[in-house]
Structure 1
């Protein structure tokens, strides 16, 4: 008779991270409501009881995942570190970092978008608003936009275009219809933004 494989002993933080990782995948693929706690426990390789030891309920787990998502994007390098760069280089650096973060955490974006009614959390929108405000002021100071309000709109368009690009290419299947290199897309977007188009 084969002995069962012993369960790995993990710290509470590591176990929560493991459960959260499984939840990210299931919530992004199936949605919050369609995912059962039994499926979450099975995907994380834990019992239902152990899942409930780390998270009071499925809602608590969703909140943990959303907080991870917000922290992931909020940890991007601040604009102040790049103020000395020429405008096109500033936008390229910001854009590359943002695209990398979105691509690496696409499941989190899908959770925020696909489960917005359950999430009801304005932290990601506040992060985008803050980033667009800071970038908008830079664009106005550099003469790319007439004033901070127009700079804000250009910056919102910039960040929104990057999110839309990844969603269209990777989630909605544009890659199979017409593959577009993300670097080339970003360069074009930077050119449009700098020209004020």
Structure 2
């Protein structure tokens, strides 16, 4: 019985060997064919061309040095001192020009956060930490890191957030405010992208059930 099993095994292995050689030509497996016909890439993998039109600054956080988008040039109302020529406390009143009324703070409990938690009322071109230290608008992620420390550690290591262009070097990562509205950082609920399934009308009808 053992001899018969051994013979069957040998015949089976021989058949597999002959079949693979016949199907793959000179290769005995798919992996052999991939290895044999693959052509090594001798070019340079880089995202520099994709980043050419983006204003970037270099930062170093711990052992990580990488690029992030310049922020102040993207803020329409910057520099703030063009309007905030004196402290906010002196500008308040019924006759004061009203601006930023479209902004609603939906970030943390009102007992824990207000505008002055992040904005420096004495120097409006700067943000400020919980301990009162100035932070440049380009480095606003440092404010977020005070409370969202685990996300910050993941971000600076490259695990959290999106890249500005591709994954090829140089590394250029979006910051918190490139994805999240700092005044209302939670994303709105939305349907996941679906292919060849229910239409938008059918999904909307399903909301009532």
Shorter-chain TM-score above 0.5: no
TM-score, normalized by length of structure 2?
0.22
When normalised by structure 1's length, the TM-score is 0.23
When Rg is computed on C-alpha atoms for both structures, the one with the higher figure is: 2
- The structure with the greater share of residues assigned to strand is 2
Structure with the largest fraction of helix: 1
